[in-house]
Structure 1
Amino acid sequence: MGYTQENKNQLLPRAFNGVVKKQKLKEEELKSWHYKDIIEDTIPGISLDKAYDKILRGKKGDTVIVAVIDTEVDIYHEDLKKQFWINTKEVPNNGQDDDHNGYIDDIHGWNFLGNQKGENIIYTSYESVRLIKKFKPIFENKTIDTSLVSQQENYKIYQEAKRRLKENIESKQQQLKTIQKYQQDIKDAINGLKHYFATGSITKENLLEFKTEDTIAEKQAKKIIDYINRGITEESLLGFIEQNNGALELSANLDYQERKITGDNPNEIKDIAYGNNNVSGNLDKLYHGTIVTGVIAAKRDNNKGIDGVINEVKIMTLCVSANGDELDKDIALAIRYAVDNGAKIINMSSGKLLSMNRHWVSEAIKYAAKKDVLFITSAGNNALLLDEKENNYYPNDNDSNEKEISNNFMMVGANSYTLDKKLRYYLTNYGKNNVDLFAPGYKVYTTLPNNKYRYSQGTSIATPIVSGVAALLMSHYPDLKASQIKEILMKSGVSYNIDVEMFQKDDSKKMIPFSELSKSGKVVNAYNALVLAEQISKSKK
């Protein structure tokens, strides 16, 4: 099967060519497929269940602080509330900066999108809008001096920003049309089923038990079940409509003053006197951070909801994301906050195709590397080959797809649970030079605000899986450095000898080896990572 077995707890992966589960996963299998083992369960997960059973049983590791740079998070969620970092140097709610770190009452982290009145930003501008506003006075209706290299480069950025903004607007408009179709589908299905069910009783549980010879009704029931599994409900669609309308009216609006609430100068990195300690507000509109946090840290074995990757973790909540693009200043300051306050891993499940002040973020990443902090970020969900020069994705750790600026940075792509041409999650970005590793990022069951749960997908989900495995290694092998953890994760993953389907620019399809989608060519594997960590840790003694 492509493995070399040297002793009971030592599996060194080469490539998998064996038989996998072909039938559709059952509900309970689906909820935890990402933790399964390719050999024992014939499901291409990360072998976490096997790791806990064969390696970690009866062992307790050190607690690892993981900073989640994202949206606000539900710190009171039933499956998360005991998993958050507490700044013991700060006296809660006394209005003082007790630890003199520049942030008042930062008990669980900091919200870089707020003010001291407790107000927080819901919509941020697109980066394209920021760049257009910067360069429009310079280039609009003016002659360009082509002899100046800086003028040429800035003009190219300006033109790209205008193109990206146009694409964003068209995408949001198309999404609204798709949402309207979903709404009509749900309405038609409910109308077709209403004489089979009492009012309010069309639930997933009832639909799964529904038996009928009416083939149309049967199809309608299956459609609603599929939508529910994908997180598509009447309620969620209304939320998506609100988000898309807000994006068109605010994020894409050149006249929108996004920093009116924070009151800071977004072009001055030393201006840090903004934000607030409200890391758990606006959860009806900003829930991405709760989704991500659940993947890493949902309490295991508590008979509630889901099991995260690791219990021995404390989540530091740093809010820089809303509806729109993150500001480079907020990202850079959040990274530095995480490093200065004890985080050993930083998870950032977001990114953007343009960056106005990338040097601020690059310097912060190098600062994290100097302090031995691992930075793990998502590759993005644009189905782009990031190795192409026009497809930069930020944050990243390279200079024009060539020189890496640090050895503590990982970019993660997403895979599915089908070992066929659809193994690559169809929207994930990829690239042999830019993406380091893949992880499960399709139909992963995780937390939502207000004690709810749902399936989620994308590189935003794959990234915290890798962060969780990294935390496992740091918890049980605290002597290992961040760069060693990265190397272990890259080397110990499982590679699959399979060609995956890729859409080209002309909408044609091309088959390429899954191993060509990332530097490692592999999917993260918790069991193998722990085995390799044990070997390396022992060799140091």
Structure 2
Amino acid sequence: MFVRKVVNVLCFLALASCAPSKNSSGGVTTTEPSKTNGIETCLALGKKNTNLADTSSVVPTLTTLDPNYGQYIVKYKEAKGLTPSGQPLREYHVSTMKLTSISGDLYSLQIKGTIKEKSKILAQVAAESDVDYVEPDYPIEPIPQTPAAIMPDDPYFSKQWFHSTLNSLAAWSVDEGSDEIIAAVVDTGVDYTHPDLAENMWINKDEIPNNGKDDDGNGYIDDVYGWNFTANNNDPRSSSKAPHGSHVAGLIGARGNNHVGVVGVAPKVKLMALKFMDDSGAGITSNAVRAIDYAIQKKVFLINNSWGSNRFSRTLSDAISRAAKAGILFFAAAGNGDKGVGYNIDATPWYPASYTQWNVFSVAATTIGDRLTDFSNFSKNKVDVAAPGYAIYSTVSGVSYQMMSGTSMATPIVAGLAVLVKATNPDLDPTQILNIIRESSDKLPTLQDKVRSGGRVDSYNAVMLARASKNCALQ
């Protein structure tokens, strides 16, 4: 016990003596100890989580069978043995009713008819002995983004002010990420041909491109870069009408030191493109769940989720629990409020940020002045940290770049930081990585009572704590 205490003290001293502070010009100096990271000992990281499947804190709420929707999710008690390719299971013609496989024990039920007819069908389906539950296939709303400035035609690192706030240059001197770490982007798709993204795109090595076969046997043919769950095809690119996913991907991991455009928080990473929202930026729960299950099957490190809805979905909650059981981190945007005004999601939940599984890590957005943006949602209990989310410059579809604002931008910044932490110390378990991000954040008076950590993330503090933790007896 005495030895462990000494090691922990040494770890703390090593971290404090090397942490950077910002000089008057906004740069980074490493000669003064940081006074804002709030870390006292490596014990703050906590022990390894030996029960990742524990989701006992998740208590799904009951949902009524509202007949005003046209599509529902049916959860059977046992899987019906079909692959998740979307083929019809069986089709009825009672004012047209079709049941289609989503994945495993989940099916999509489409109904047309009068309210009375749909109510009767829903009641009959829900009453079947092998049905666990039925709920609407809720629409998932895009989190609105607002272009924050006129786009310059010479995109460079200097346009990305948030890197100075995060101390990215100092962090990259410790670690730049890893090409072995996979980050899934569940969004409007990712332009895998973009010159700043192409080198960092995940490629399915178990699939032979364009041979018309499902080589890896996962139910998806020629899924080289991921999958398009909206069109049910193998082209998960974002379009120029909905470049949101490519913007998100660039913030996680646009390639660095390639003499092109911008750089992500983790210059080295593999980005998986999972498209479940269409060109209008809208999607449905069942397609989000299919994307999450795809990521689980491919054993990604994290899933970025810059989208949401104000409706609780047991189906989505169960999918997040499956990701938790697999040890996958689930980063979620806190949401952009109502009509540009953020609100407390403790009182008015926003999902998936409001789900309570251990792997859900919610992110609020801050300005260049380290204040919560006017539009950002917040919560002392449900939102973990804040990150820059205003006038954020990143990749978009085509050979293009754009500034956007939103918690949608803050979230992938934190996801990229998780990649840096994992690369710095691969022995950390998922819960310890989340603890590092929270504990290493810069504690700011403007964020007290607004986010759980009371801070805005700091990349250098985080990787230094991750490096120091190699000598901390983390069991």
TM bracket (short chain): 0.5 to 0.7
Which amino acid counterpart does residue 343 of structure 2 have in structure 1? L
Identity %: 35
Name 2:414's counterpart in structure 1: 466
1:392-471, aligned counterparts within 5 Å? 392-396=349-353, 398=355, 404=356, 406-419=357-370, 423-471=371-419
How far off its partner does 1:7 sit? Answer: 2.5
CA-to-partner distance for each residue in 1:297-327, whole Å, 9 max, x for gaps?
1111111111111232110000112325431
- 1:35 corresponds to 2:154: no
Q: Is the 8 A contact 2:37 2:439 kept in 1?
A: no
Q: Is the 8 A contact 2:342 2:378 kept in 1?
A: yes
1:276 alignment partner, one of 222, 233, 237: 233
- 1:47 corresponds to 2:167: yes
Q: Which has the higher strand share?
A: 2
Name 1:140's counterpart in structure 2: none
Name 1:530's counterpart in structure 2: 463
The structure with more radius of gyration: 1
In structure 2, list runs of 5 or more residues that go unmatched. Answer: 1-11, 20-32, 39-154
How far off its partner does 1:532 sit? Answer: 1.3
Which amino acid counterpart does residue 360 of structure 2 have in structure 1? F
CA-to-partner distance for each residue in 1:359-416, whole Å, 9 max, x for gaps?
1111111111111111101111113333443x22111453xxxxx3x21110111001
- 1:85 corresponds to 2:85: no
Q: Give the length in aligned residue pairs.
A: 330
1:222-371, aligned counterparts within 5 Å? 275-280=232-237, 283-322=239-278, 323=280, 325-355=282-312, 358-371=313-326
Q: Is the 8 A contact 1:62 1:476 kept in 2?
A: no
- 1:515 corresponds to 2:466: no
Name 1:150's counterpart in structure 2: none
- Measured in 2, the distance between the counterparts of 1:412 and 1:308 equals 17
How far off its partner does 1:60 sit? Answer: 7.1
CA-to-partner distance for each residue in 1:472-527, whole Å, 9 max, x for gaps?
111221111111111110111001124xxxxxxxxxxxxxxx21111111101111
Q: Is the 8 A contact 1:386 1:393 kept in 2?
A: no
- Measured in 2, the distance between the counterparts of 1:352 and 1:315 equals 24
How far off its partner does 1:536 sit? Answer: 2.4
- 1:111 corresponds to 2:245: no
- Measured in 2, the distance between the counterparts of 1:487 and 1:539 equals 14
Which amino acid counterpart does residue 368 of structure 1 have in structure 2? A
- Measured in 2, the distance between the counterparts of 1:108 and 1:454 equals 23
How far off its partner does 1:51 sit? Answer: 1.4
How far off its partner does 1:431 sit? Answer: 1.1
- Measured in 2, the distance between the counterparts of 1:287 and 1:32 equals 18
CA-to-partner distance for each residue in 1:24-83, whole Å, 9 max, x for gaps?
xxx9896132111xxxxxxxx111112123x33xx7745210000000221111111111
Aligned to 2:412, what secondary structure does the other structure show?
helix
- Measured in 2, the distance between the counterparts of 1:8 and 1:394 equals 38
TM-score, reference length from structure 1: 0.58
1:485-504, aligned counterparts within 5 Å? 485-498=433-446
- Shift of the 29–311 alpha-carbon distance from structure 1 to 2, 3 Å rule, reads closer
Which amino acid counterpart does residue 104 of structure 1 have in structure 2? I
- Measured in 2, the distance between the counterparts of 1:304 and 1:277 equals 27
Name 2:79's counterpart in structure 1: none
TM-score, reference length from structure 2: 0.65
Q: Is the 8 A contact 2:177 2:420 kept in 1?
A: no
Q: Is the 8 A contact 2:156 2:261 kept in 1?
A: no
CA-to-partner distance for each residue in 1:193-221, whole Å, 9 max, x for gaps?
xxxxxxxxxxxxxxxxxxxxxxxxxxxxx
How far off its partner does 1:439 sit? Answer: 0.3
Name 1:94's counterpart in structure 2: 211
Name 1:231's counterpart in structure 2: none
RMSD across aligned C-alpha pairs, in angstroms? 2.4
Q: Is the 8 A contact 1:61 1:476 kept in 2?
A: no
In structure 1, list runs of 5 or more residues that go unmatched. Answer: 16-26, 37-44, 115-274, 399-403, 499-513
Name 2:9's counterpart in structure 1: none
How far off its partner does 1:11 sit? Answer: 4.2
- Measured in 1, the distance between the counterparts of 2:470 and 2:228 equals 37
Aligned to 1:280, what secondary structure does the other structure show?
coil
Aligned to 1:362, what secondary structure does the other structure show?
helix
Aligned to 1:450, what secondary structure does the other structure show?
coil
CA-to-partner distance for each residue in 1:323-351, whole Å, 9 max, x for gaps?
25431111112111101102101001111
CA-to-partner distance for each residue in 1:114-150, whole Å, 9 max, x for gaps?
1xxxxxxxxxxxxxxxxxxxxxxxxxxxxxxxxxxxx
Q: Which has the higher helix share?
A: 1
- 1:385 corresponds to 2:343: yes
1:372 alignment partner, one of 327, 341, 364: 327
- Shift of the 107–307 alpha-carbon distance from structure 1 to 2, 3 Å rule, reads same
- Measured in 1, the distance between the counterparts of 2:372 and 2:156 equals 22
